[in-house]
Structure 1
Amino acid sequence: MRLLVSSPTLTDKVSKMICQDILTGELKPGQKLVVADLKEKYNVGASPIREALVQLSWSKYVKLEPQKGCWVAPVCKKELNDLYESLRVVSSVLLKKAILAGDESWELDVLTSYHKLSRLNFDETFCWKEWEERHHQFHVSLLEGADSKNMFEFFSDLINQIKRYRYFAMQTLNSEQDALFNIDEHEMIMKLVLAKNSEEAMTLLDKHLLSSMQRIETVLELETA
């Protein structure tokens, strides 16, 4: 079978495939990534694999060590706490800025992203991966109205790293997945934001982020004990 050679577009495609396999747990935290194995798995040459792994090391999904190799980044309580502590600080500042500066277009984005999140049914058809994507977009929409490009990029980096932990927890919780779902809390955050009640919105968002961290932390403690 002919292997695909490297190109910027192919590298991005391979990077997304590896990233998705890390998120879904097909490539597990701490697992060594061998180029030869990945070539066979994704049917591409060595160059796009290596370039994709470098890209993923920038987003901290992959750990690279010269002369030693490459691994899926591990998960640990210390990093989780650090990520969420940083996220809580930057989210609070950005939310206040967004409420002050946000226009009608931003308000519509917040309302739309909440509506999409709330439309998911918690029954036998429920898909937690779809929830995670919509949940991610809701949190992004809350803060996009802030006129603070560099701070928003930092926020985006943080939630992309946290996404790996959330996926890890979702797969482990199985029947207890609803522990990470609270649509009522999201609705209240949305209403406070649209009402321009910045202080209460900031307080509730911080509480929401802390609660999410604690739920994921419980899973980590059980899985790494």
Structure 2
Amino acid sequence: MSSPTLTDKVSKFIRHDILTGQLRPGQKLVVAELKDKYNVGASPIREALVQLSWSKYVKLEPQKGSWVASVCQDELKDLFDSLRVVSSVLLQKAIESGDEHWELDVLTSFHKLSRLDNPKTDEDWSEWEERHLQFHKSLLEGANSKTMMSFFNDLINQIKRYRYFAITRMNENEELYNLEQHEKLMKAALAKDTKAAAEVLETHLTRSLTVIKKSIDAA
């Protein structure tokens, strides 16, 4: 059994290369090739691939091998349909029960997001995605619902692969970068305007879905 720390590191390397497109959707993952690529033994490679299959970044087939998970419109739609449901419920609950600590977290996460203006490089986009995710988490964590937040995090983790797919393949990514939309969402939530916040969130999710769908069609 290899070191869990080494396995985790290898898992992060492979996940990064999947997100950035160095390992493409549907690509066969050959252990011997990955050993050379990451300069580690076969055992941590195999264990990392199992870990990544749990988060659906990798598809495993016994006796056949491993592949980078493919992207498809049906899965994308299902993920966003699910995200709409859980995030809308969490948003409503957060607005109803969010306290001053929640308000401060939302303000802080939006401020950090706004500091990264107009991302252009791969590094900028990676940082934008992390700050974007933290903004949404801060907004919804006020709901104090561990079960639904766990479901939300699982969905976001899978959608992240699709967002990166769009970012790394499209010439124009401005629709995935929309600070004004996030500011409207923040202001509506802090103003306890549930209806307005829900409408902004729906618009945001719909636009994101449309951009990613186009990237899949163009691939």
Question: Into which bin does the TM-score normalised by the smaller protein fall?
Answer: over 0.9
> Could you tell me the TM-score, scaled by structure 1's length?
0.93
- Contact persistence 2:119–2:125 (CA under 8 A): no
1:145 aligned to which of 142, 145, 149 = 142
The count of residues paired between Structure 1 and Structure 2 equals 218
Q: Is 1:203 aligned to 2:199, yes or no?
A: yes
1:214 counterpart residue number: 210
Aligned residue number for residue 101 of structure 2 = 105
**What are the ranges of 5 or more consecutive residues in structure 2 without an aligned counterpart?**
none
SS at match of 2:28: coil
Counterpart in the other structure of 1:129: 126
Aligned counterparts, 1:1-225, within 5 A: 6-122=2-118, 127-174=124-171, 176-223=172-219
Cα separation, 1, equivalents of 2:188 and 2:19: 32
**What is the deviation of 1:139?**
1.2
| CA displacement, residues 112-134 of structure 1 (integer Å, 9 cap, x when unaligned) | 11111111132767822221111
CA distance in 1, matches of 2:96, 2:119: 38
Q: TM-score, normalised by structure 2?
A: 0.95
Tell me the distance in 2 between the aligned counterparts of 1:60 and 1:81. 16
Superposition CA RMSD, Å: 1.4
Moved over 4 A (4+): 123-126
